[in-house]
Homo-oligomer: A and B are copies of this chain.
Amino acid sequence: MKKDVVKVRITYADTDAMGVVYHANYLKWFEIGRTELLRKMGIVYAELEKTGCNLPLTEVNCQYLAPARYDDILLVETGIDYLKRSNMKFEYIIWDEKMEKMLIEGYSTHAFTNNKGKIVRAPKEFVEKIKGSLDQNSGTIIRA
């Protein structure tokens, strides 16, 4: 699996008085993007957590290329840039409905931690599932 694309529709709750999506809300769609990408790779984040492993953000970056409006459908494309010993990086592109226009480009980095917030190694099973999916393609997932 090279990447995953999730469809979301913009609600009033997502917009602001400028008539467009409030900038912070794209980060919520990044969350949906990486959760669904992992799910397709066989990793249910909610279950990972129950094993005592978390993936909190260490950094997020978001570039706003074009605005999106109420009731628009967006396509959230998510890939994995890298998976290291104790951290990983996701990359995102948010497209218009026809996937013709890039609205948003971003990334998030995450650390593997235990329940107490201490950095730990990525769980072996997690790594294997990701690697298994990545091996089906070569190189980075997104923008390859």
Determine whether the beta carbon of B59 is less than 8 Å from that of A32: no
Interface size class of A (residues with CB under 8 A): 35 or more
Indicate whether A31 reaches chain B with its CB closer than 8 angstroms.
Answer: yes
Bound Cα distance A117, B17 (Å): 14
Determine whether the beta carbon of A63 is less than 8 Å from that of B71: no
> Quick one: which of A12-40 are within 8 Å of B by CB?
12-13, 15-20, 22-25, 27-28, 31-32, 35
**How many copies of this chain does the complex contain?**
4
Main SS of the interface on chain A?
mixed
Bound Cα distance A80, B61 (Å): 19
9-residue interface stretch from A50-58, A90-98, A121-129: A50-58
Determine whether the beta carbon of B12 is less than 8 Å from that of A22: yes
Chain B residues lying within 8 Å of A25, measured Cβ to Cβ, are 24
